Amino acid sequence: MIPYSGLLFFYILLLLLIPAIILGVNGKPLKRYGIIANIIALIIIFGNSKKQIVLLMLFYIGELILIKTYLTVRKTYGQRWILWIVVFCSLIPLILDKWGNIIIVNRQLGFLGISYLTFKVVQILLEIYDGLITEIGILDFTYFLLFFPTISSGPIDRSRRFEQDIDKILSKEEYITYLREGIWKFSTGIAYKFIIGVLISNYWMNKIPTSHTLLNTLNYMYSYSFYLFFDFAGYSLMAIGTSYILGIATPENFNMPFISKDIKDFWNRWHMSLSFWFRDFLYTRFVMAALKKKRFKNRFTASYIGYFITMGTMGIWHGTQIFYLIYGIYHALLIISTDYIERKSKWYKKAKKSEAWSILFIFVTFNLVCFGFLIFSGYLFKK
């Protein structure tokens, strides 16, 4: 069963959340019940496929052993090459899922949410190396890794933040605030995904003729961009709303991305948990290591190569088709161009503060973003 996809899931979700609400409004701890509800939800989500359950459990056990082993090794050996070996090992299930058809005949080695679970594991490994995580409780790790509201498509939380939330006992007043926020987010998510998203899909996007004329292409570009936002933002809001009702303030994923003034601003508003993850754990680390080892004469060169690596990886992460990689490179070029103009143009810096020019910048950015989504959709690559 795919989360947030049908009436049966919503009915089961309601039954699971009612005890949490009763506990919360009475000022009782939510952690124990949250773990129980999480187990029940996982059984329901994965219960219709023995293969999915087996793969999920193998992934969980393997990653837990890997993290526990590295936690012990890190106390004695702090070499970076050990970290990269461990990180690569953590990525093997995802690699087999994405490229298993090249390595072996049977490609179906993945399960629902494998990408987002892998991001969580890598984050823990990197923060163990940094010394920010010195111990891992199996129960807390399990709850974090397999947290059902966000298991299929995020948002991507951070383990230390998550653990602070589950260990915090909310007062009655604090929980009621969480409950109101959760219900509002969940309701907004339903409206986004099942009303606005469906209307865009049925009465706009699906009505466009299949012939690839310029007009049809532009029509599809805008319809797909709006559909993608409302569908994914709707899902994210439902996941975040569910989390709040369970007493966990899962981070936001979208912040009005279509009013961004430039591409950098866009990536601070679109799929934020993913873009911030890549920024913190790939881009920043690459640039800092490159500058420390003086691999490039110019710090901007390191930054721009970092953008290519980061956005290219993000593109490949979405899928193995060539248009995903092109999408990533396209955004890398846009970010680099924006950064260059910001540094070289005094007019641009002043114009961004002007309301009149800001409207133009928003319009240009919106169209650049929509063209990127057109690439992402694969529409241009269909015959």
Chain segment 124-168, per-residue pLDDT in tens: 999 999 999 999 999 999 999 999 999 999 999 999 999 999 999
d(CA 109, CA 51): 9
* Residue among 312, 337, 340 nearest 326 (CA): 312
pLDDT at 351: 84
Per domain, the residue ranges of the chain are 31-167, 172-245, 257-381
Decide: pTM greater than 0.85.
Answer: yes
Q: What is the predicted pLDDT for the residue at 45? A: 95
CB of 256 within 8 A of CB of 270?
no
d(CA 136, CA 71): 8
The whole-number pLDDT of residue 102 equals 59
At 337-351, the pLDDT tens digits run: 999 998 888 888 788
Cα–Cα dist 31/50, whole Å: 28
Catalytic residues: 318
CA distances from 252 to 219, 235, 240 (A): 29, 12, 7
The three state secondary structure string of the chain is CCCCCCHHHHHHHHHHHHHHHHHHHCCCCCHHHHHHHHHHHHHHHHCCCHHHHHHHHHHHHHHHHHHHHHHHHHCCCCCHHHHHHHHHHHHHHHHHHHHHHHHCCCCCCCCCCHHHHHHHHHHHHHHHHCCCCCCCCHHHHHHHHCCHHHCCCCCCCCHHHHHHHHHCCCCHHHHHHHHHHHHHHHHHHHHHHHHHHHHHHHHCHHHCCCCCCHHHHHHHHHHHHHHHHHHHHHHHHHHHHHHHHCCCCCCCCCCCHHHCCCHHHHHCCCCHHHHHHHHHHHHHHHHHHHHHCCCCCCHHHHHHHHHHHHHHHHHHHHCCCHHHHHHHHHHHHHHHHHHHHHHHCHHHHHHCCCHHHHHHHHHHHHHHHHHHHHHHHCHHHCC
> pLDDT 10s per residue in the chain (383 long)?
899 998 999 999 999 999 999 999 999 999 999 999 999 999 999 988 899 999 999 999 999 999 999 999 999 999 999 999 999 999 999 988 887 665 555 556 789 999 999 999 999 999 999 999 999 999 999 999 999 999 999 999 999 999 999 999 999 999 999 999 999 999 999 999 999 999 999 999 999 998 989 999 999 999 999 999 999 999 999 999 999 999 999 999 999 999 999 999 999 999 999 999 999 999 999 999 999 888 888 889 999 999 999 999 999 999 889 999 999 999 999 999 999 998 888 888 788 778 888 899 999 999 999 999 999 999 999 87
CA-derived radius of gyration, the chain? 22
pLDDT at position 170: 95
Per residue in 21-59, pLDDT tens? 999 999 999 999 999 999 999 999 998 889 999 999 999
On whether the CB atoms of residues 149 and 3 are closer than 8 A, the answer is yes
